[in-house]
Amino acid sequence: MQIERWVDIIQSTIQKSARLDEVVVVLDCGHFDSKLGVDDFSINSTNIAGDIYMLSRRLRKKGLKFVFSVLRDDVGMTCSLDDDSCEVDGRHQATEHQVPAEILKSLQKIEGFRSEKVKLFSEKTARNRGIQFFRKQKKMDALGSNFLLEKKDDQSKLLFRLSDDNKVLLADILDDAHWIGHCPLLMGMHYVDIAAWAKKIYIDKSKVLIIDFSMSYDKGKVNAGAEVALDLNAPQGTLLGIINVCSSDEEFTVHTTDIKVA
């Protein structure tokens, strides 16, 4: 059964470097488009997250904790890692400020679920926070060694060196005040933000593991974002790893599982 395999992956990933009772797992599910609303992928990924939680009972008895996060696409950004291009649908508007009722209904079927253990996050907020963070780091000349600035004429690009030595574009820097953030930057900051939130929910836990459910066309940006997040979090050392499950269909019958660890 696939759910059992994911539970085993969670356990084995944690136990390579931590004890179960040191960790809180974030199940990042239910991703939806603010323009189109909740769809089958949103509901199916939420149900899978719930099944993982339920089948992790033996791990929870050993002290492992879980929370749920939901990401709202209120940017409408589609990025290609092949040519560093991004397209933004300006019609996207944030219409949901709480977890949508359809997703919450699925979560409420989980035994022992409590509403304070789920939070709605925003792509627009993650993008803006990422730009603010890197703008400050650039000003302080404090960018890490894997963050690279390439200058051409009066403009610059902020790049990130991946573990395979390829580079991905994080932002176009038109000038000091005008940055255009790209998808890997957005996802990297999203993972940093949900890890920080999970630590606030369980202040006694020293480590966070994220498992994120996405469609296959987002595989490049979520895997790159995972590496960005782990690099940013390295000084704190709280982010244990990120497991990205990317499906080619809304039922998760065909999918890939990528694991990035600190």
Structure tokens given for 68: 């749920």
pLDDT tens per residue, range 220-255: 999 999 999 999 999 999 999 999 999 999 888 888
Number of Cα atoms under 13 Å in the Cβ half of residue 80: 5
Domains of the chain, earliest start first: 2-122+186-261 (3.40.50)
Structure tokens given for 89: 């649908």
Helix (H) or strand (E) holding 200: helix 183-201
pTM of the model: 0.93
Tell me: pLDDT of 85 over 70: no
pLDDT tens per residue, range 7-24: 999 999 999 999 999 999
- Which of 187, 195, 196 shows the shortest CA–CA distance to 258? 187
- Which of 231, 202, 198 shows the shortest CA–CA distance to 212? 198
Q: Tell the burial category of 222 from Cβ atoms under 10 Å away from its Cβ (0-12, 13-18, 19+).
A: buried
- Would you say 104 and 48 are in contact if contact means Cβ atoms under 8 Å apart? no
Helices (H), ranges, 56-211:
57-60, 101-107, 123-139, 183-201
SS3 241: strand
* Average pLDDT of the residues in 41-60: 97
Q: How far is CA 176 from each of CA 16, 127, 173, rounded to the nearest angstrom?
A: 42, 16, 7
Determine the Cα–Cα distance for residues 213 and 232; give it in Å rounded to an integer.
Answer: 21
Confidence band (pLDDT; 50, 70, 90) for 83? low
* Average pLDDT of the residues in 113-127: 95
Q: What is the mean pLDDT of the chain?
A: 92
β-pair type (65-73, 255-261): unpaired
- Would you say 103 and 43 are in contact if contact means Cβ atoms under 8 Å apart? yes
Confidence band (pLDDT; 50, 70, 90) for 155? confident
